[in-house]
Amino acid sequence: MEKYICNESNGLWYELKGAHDLLVLPEYQRFGIGKQLVKMMKEKYKEYWRIVLVAYNEEIGFYEACGFKKADDASFMFITSLWT
């Protein structure tokens, strides 16, 4: 689990904790394993003010089915040396 300290534009500081790459091998997909992993993460962090997820466009439907909503007024931006 990684921790980050962030500052919002309103001056509030908060701590982010995160898990990276909840993955299910293709041969085990469509058995509810991914939904169960997301459910467990949501339960673990249910007391947090906000749970934020970065998803590739082709995965948005899955995460919407898990209760996440795509922001209309925000986009994630980042700098990375990783290639996908």
> Is 74 inside a domain boundary?
no
Dist CA 43 CA 54 (whole Å): 18
Please state the φ and ψ torsions of residue 16, each to the nearest 5 degrees. -105, 140
State the average pLDDT over residues 67-83: 81
Phi, psi (5° rounding) for residue 46? -65, -25
82 is a domain residue: no
With cut-offs at 50, 70 and 90, classify the pLDDT of residue 83. Answer: low
4-62 residue pLDDT tens: 445 455 555 555 566 667 889 999 999 999 999 999 988 888 887 778 888 888 889 99
In a domain, 10, yes or no: yes
Please check whether residue 59 lies inside any domain of the structure: yes
> pTM of the entire structure?
0.66
The domain of 18 spans: 2-65
- More confident position, 69 or 76: 69
pLDDT of residue 76: 77
Any domain includes 60:
yes
Residue 23 lies in a domain: yes
* pLDDT score at 1: 46
* Total domains in the fold of the chain: 1
